[in-house]
Structure 1
Amino acid sequence: MKLNYKRTVLIGLAFLSISAFWQLYDNIIPLILQNTFGLGETFTGTIMALDNTLALFLLPLFGAFSDKVSTRMGKRTPFIITGTFIAVVFMMVIPYADQNKNFILFFISLGTVLVAMGLYRSPAVALMPDLTPKPLRSKANAIINLMGAVGGIFTLAMISFLIPKEITPNYSPIFFSVAALMVISIVILVLTISENKISKELKENNTMIEEETEEQKGEKSEMPKEVKKSLIFILASVFLWFTAYNAVTTAFSRYAVKVWNLHGGGFANALMVATGAAILSYIPIGIISSNIGRKKTIIAGIILMSISYFFGFLFIEYSPIINIVFAFTGIGWSAINVNSYPMVVEMSKSSDVGKYTGLYYTFSMSAQILTPILSGFLLENISYRTLFPYSVVFSLASLCTMLLVKHGDSRPPKKNTLENFDIDD
Structure 2
Amino acid sequence: MRQLPKLSFWQIWNISFGFLGVQFGFALQNANASRILSNLGADLHHLPLFWLAAPIMGLIVQPIVGHVSDRTWNRLGRRLPYILGGALVSMLAMFMMPNASMVVAWMAPVLFGAIIFALMDGSFNVTFQPFRALVADMLPDEQRNVGYSIQSFLINAGAVIGSILPYVLTNMMGVSNEAPDGQVPQSVIWSFYIGGAILIISVLVTVFKTKEYPPAEFNEYKNISEAEQQEKQSFWVTLRSMPKTMVQLAVVQFFAWFALYLMWVYTTPAVAQHFWHTPVGDAGSAQYNEAGNWVGIIFGAYSLFAALFSIAMPWLAKQWGRKTVYALALLAGCLGFVSMYFLTNPNHLIVSMIGIGIAWAAILSMPFAILSSALPAKKMGIYMGIFNFTIAGPQIISGLLGGTILKTFFDGQAIYILIVAGVSMLLGAIAVYFVDDIHAKSH
Range of TM-score over shorter length: 0.7 to 0.9
1:243 is aligned to 2:258? yes
Question: CA separation in 1, counterparts of 2:371 and 2:213?
Answer: 28
Match of 1:114 among 89, 114, 121: 121
The answer to whether the 8 Å contact 1:52/1:369 transfers is yes
- Alignment map for 1:37-48 (pairs within 5 Å): 37-41=41-45, 43-48=46-51
1:93 is aligned to 2:110? no
Label 1:318 to 1:360 Cα distance change in 2 as closer, same or farther (>3 A): farther
The answer to whether the 8 Å contact 2:262/2:417 transfers is yes
- Alignment map for 1:270-289 (pairs within 5 Å): 270-289=298-317
**Paired residues, what number?**
397
Which residue is equivalent to 2:283?
none
Identity %: 17
Q: For 1:259, what is the secondary structure of its paired residue?
A: helix
Which residue is equivalent to 1:412?
441
Question: CA separation in 2, counterparts of 1:95 and 1:59?
Answer: 25
- Alignment map for 1:10-409 (pairs within 5 Å): 10-41=14-45, 43-98=46-101, 102-132=109-139, 136-163=143-170, 164-166=176-178, 169-170=185-186, 171-190=188-207, 192-193=208-209, 195=211, 198-200=212-214, 208-212=220-224, 232-261=247-276, 262-315=290-343, 317-335=344-362, 338-344=365-371, 357=384, 360-381=387-408, 382=411, 383-402=413-432, 405=434, 407-408=436-437
Question: Could you tell me which amino acid in structure 1 is paired with residue 437 of structure 2?
Answer: G
Structure 1 residues 311-357: Cα deviation after superposition (integer angstroms, max 9, x where no partner): 11112x44322211211222244456554444455666777766764
Give the drift of 1:134: 5.8
Label 1:180 to 1:397 Cα distance change in 2 as closer, same or farther (>3 A): same
Question: CA separation in 2, counterparts of 1:304 and 1:241?
Answer: 12
Give the drift of 1:81: 3.2
Give the drift of 1:53: 0.8
Q: For 1:211, what is the secondary structure of its paired residue?
A: coil
The answer to whether the 8 Å contact 1:203/1:210 transfers is no
The answer to whether the 8 Å contact 1:302/1:398 transfers is yes
The answer to whether the 8 Å contact 1:26/1:48 transfers is no
Question: Could you tell me which amino acid in structure 1 is paired with residue 394 of structure 2?
Answer: A
Label 1:345 to 1:109 Cα distance change in 2 as closer, same or farther (>3 A): closer
Q: For 2:294, what is the secondary structure of its paired residue?
A: coil
Which residue is equivalent to 1:221?
none
Unaligned residue ranges in structure 2 (runs of 5+): 171-175, 232-242, 277-289
Question: Could you tell me which amino acid in structure 2 is paired with residue 386 of structure 1?
Answer: Y
Give the drift of 1:278: 2.0
The answer to whether the 8 Å contact 1:236/1:401 transfers is yes
Label 1:165 to 1:260 Cα distance change in 2 as closer, same or farther (>3 A): farther
The answer to whether the 8 Å contact 1:23/1:152 transfers is yes
The answer to whether the 8 Å contact 1:165/1:263 transfers is no
Question: Could you tell me which amino acid in structure 2 is paired with residue 48 of structure 1?
Answer: W
Structure 1 residues 183-214: Cα deviation after superposition (integer angstroms, max 9, x where no partner): 22234344x3364xx534x955x775332479
Give the drift of 1:181: 0.3
Q: Aligned-pair RMSD on alpha carbons? A: 3.5
Question: Could you tell me which amino acid in structure 1 is paired with residue 17 of structure 2?
Answer: L
Q: Could you state the TM-score of these two structures normalised by the residue count of structure 1?
A: 0.79
Question: Could you tell me which amino acid in structure 2 is paired with residue 65 of structure 1?
Answer: V
Give the drift of 1:272: 2.0
The answer to whether the 8 Å contact 1:161/1:265 transfers is no
Label 1:154 to 1:333 Cα distance change in 2 as closer, same or farther (>3 A): closer
Q: For 1:265, what is the secondary structure of its paired residue?
A: helix
Label 1:181 to 1:361 Cα distance change in 2 as closer, same or farther (>3 A): same
Label 1:93 to 1:297 Cα distance change in 2 as closer, same or farther (>3 A): closer
The answer to whether the 8 Å contact 1:3/1:139 transfers is no
Question: Could you tell me which amino acid in structure 1 is paired with residue 223 of structure 2?
Answer: E
